Amino acid sequence: MLVHGVLAPALEPPTGYLVWDRVTAAGIWPAGERMAQTILVTGGCGFIGSAVVRRLLANADVAVVNLDAMTYAANPRTDAELTRNPRYRLAKGTICDAAFVRAVVNDCRPAGVVHLAAESHVDRSIDNAAEFLRTNVEGTAVLLDAATAYWRGLGDAARAAFRFVHVSTDEVYGSLGLVGYSAEGAVYEPNSPYAASKAASDHLARAWHRTHGLPTIVTHGSNTYGPYQFPEKLIPLIIVRALRGESLPVYGKGENVRDWLYVEDHAAALTEVLRRGRPGEVYNVGGGNERRNIDVVRAVCAILDELAPDQSGPYGRRIAFVKDRPGHDLRYAVATDKIRAEVGWRPAIAFEAGLPATVAWYLANRAWWEPALAQTDATQRLGLAR
Ligand SMILES: NC(=O)c1ccc[n+]([C@@H]2O[C@H](COP(=O)([O-])OP(=O)(O)OC[C@H]3O[C@@H](n4cnc5c(N)ncnc54)[C@H](O)[C@@H]3O)[C@@H](O)[C@H]2O)c1
């Protein structure tokens, strides 16, 4: 099950793969090459997006067009790997460019959209919220507009089957105490600029459904982890810093609790919602693996002690408690009864299986993350601005 990354050989980009810097008159799919169904994924070279693309491509009747700006968070090696599949195309550009987005949508004629493109790192949103507002809010509106215009022109059957899945986060619900869960419909209380921008985009997805009839569905995923995550987020950051012999920073006392969701489980939830979700509905997606940050970091250290021991001593000795993130939410946890009952999805990967698989992937795939870090050293502290 946990195989795609752990067992994959070291990644080498194939030569001569195509990148659509702009959609040309010839279109994305040359005449005659269109597949039975094309799904448009945005942000498909990011962490969760690439897992969604892999999952969709596992169905031989599905083609994927990935609209991605290839920001620092997108790894060209991920694209190079996906490009080995002839049913995959990258349309490189931003969701904020209305003419480009319209051209991509109209050319690839998707049966559905899974919208993941976003600025996604809370610490960066504390230092500079502008890009979060542009991509997460304005970009989502641009994409919704293009999808609506295209969807209106479809025949009856295609229009009825079309879905626009807007991928959001549990962070929009704000912080919980140590008990209780946020159910769908809970009040939104976003506390970071990132969460506020995602909340705004969720409202847009809802509004386009209510006002224009576009069959949008919103998902609220919990903290996701696994292979192919840019090493600015907690788990890969700790792995990479440990392997580089650096200190292992833990914000505050490390008591913040997150519900960890393995990336394959998150991707499966999104593709199932695309197939079975009801238009206008909202679904929480949670892993059922609540852990304090400090316990996650200690668990990563223990796995590294086994898989890649440091001769000078256990990795845990390098844990360093650092100044907390401003506005750091104590706990997020979502109720997942609705997606289980209506969509039939449930998480399959326990943290005890997913975490070692993740650590093993980073150990086996330095060629994926080392060049990315050479370009942007994202392991340095951000988001202290007040
Ligand atoms: N990572 C998590 O724990 C988590 C949990 C719940 C929900 N989400 C949501 O899932 C989605 C994907 O998250 P992720 O962690 O994979 O993100 P990521 O940062 O790894 O990837 C984001 C992708 O979006 C692309 N992108 C950014 N700005 C763009 C723009 N203007 N136009 C086109 N593409 C652009 C990037 O190039 C990158 O490929 C986001 O919407 C995020 O809010 C993430």
pLDDT number for residue 182: 94
Q: Tokens representing 37?
A: 């169904």
HEC-encoded secondary structure of the chain: CCHHHHCCCCCCCCCCCCCECCCCCCCCCCCCCCCCEEEEEECCCCHHHHHHHHHHHCCCCEEEEEEECCCCCCCHHHHHHHCCCCCEEEEECCCCCHHHHHHHHHHHCCCEEEECCCCCCHHHHHHCCHHHHHHHHHHHHHHHHHHHHHHHCCCHHHHHHCEEEEEEEHHHHCCCCCCCCECCCCCCCCCCHHHHHHHHHHHHHHHHHHHHCCCEEEEEECCEECCCCCCCCHHHHHHHHHHCCCCEEEECCCCCEEECEEHHHHHHHHHHHHHHCCCCCEEEECCCCEEEHHHHHHHHHHHHHHHCCCCCCCHHHHEEEECCCCCCCCECCECCHHHHHHCCCCCCCCHHHHHHHHHHHHHHCHHHHHHHHHHCCCCCCCCCCC
pLDDT number for residue 10: 32
pLDDT in tens, 30-75: 666 666 789 999 999 999 999 999 999 999 889 999 999 999 999 9
pLDDT in tens, 268-295: 999 999 999 999 999 999 999 999 999 9
pLDDT in tens, 78-120: 999 999 998 899 999 999 999 999 999 998 899 999 999 999 9
Q: Can you tell me the distance from the alpha carbon of 270 to that of 276, in angstroms, rounded to the nearest whole number?
A: 10
| Number of structural domains found in the chain | 1
Place of tokens 């079975």: 276
- Report CA dihedral (59, 60, 62, 67) to the nearest 10 degrees: 90
Closest CA to 133 of 212, 206, 40, 199: 199
Residue 250 lies in a domain: yes
pLDDT number for residue 209: 98
Structural domain boundaries, residue 274: 17-24+35-375
pLDDT number for residue 251: 87
Segment 178-196 shows an average pLDDT of 94
Residue 199 lies in a domain: yes
- The yes-or-no verdict on residue 141 having pLDDT over 60 is yes
Q: Look up the CATH number of the domain holding residue 289.
A: 3.40.50.720
**Of residues 22 and 192, more confidently modeled:** 192
Q: Can you tell me the distance from the alpha carbon of 144 to that of 148, in angstroms, rounded to the nearest whole number?
A: 6
Quick check: is 194 catalytic?
A: yes
Residue 10 lies in a domain: no
Residue 272 lies in a domain: yes
What percent of the chain is modeled with pLDDT above 70? 89
Residue 3 lies in a domain: no
pLDDT in tens, 322-334: 877 887 878 989 9
Residue 6 lies in a domain: no
pTM here is 0.92
- The yes-or-no verdict on residue 266 having pLDDT over 50 is yes
Q: Can you tell me the distance from the alpha carbon of 130 to that of 193, in angstroms, rounded to the nearest whole number?
A: 9
Nearest atom, ligand 1, residue 219 CA: 7
Which residue owns the Cα nearest ligand 1 atom 8? 169
Segment 369-376 shows an average pLDDT of 84
Give the phi and the psi of residue 163 in degrees, each rounded to 5: -135, 145
Quick check: is 156 catalytic?
A: no
Quick check: is 370 catalytic?
A: no
Q: Can you tell me the distance from the alpha carbon of 310 to that of 259, in angstroms, rounded to the nearest whole number?
A: 29
Closest CA to 281 of 183, 171, 155: 183
Give yes or no for residue 45 CB within 6 A of ligand 1. Answer: yes
Give yes or no for residue 221 CB within 6 A of ligand 1. Answer: yes
Q: How confident is the model at residue 23 (pLDDT cuts 50, 70, 90)?
A: low
- Report CA dihedral (225, 220, 101, 112) to the nearest 10 degrees: 100
Give yes or no for residue 101 CB within 6 A of ligand 1. Answer: no
Residue 30 lies in a domain: no
Q: State the amino acid at position 148 in one-letter form.
A: T
Mutate which of 40, 41, 45, 48 for ligand 1? The one with the most ligand atoms within 8 Å of its CB, which is: 48
pLDDT number for residue 19: 42
Mutate which of 116, 228, 258, 368 for ligand 1? The one with the most ligand atoms within 8 Å of its CB, which is: 116
Residue 118 lies in a domain: yes
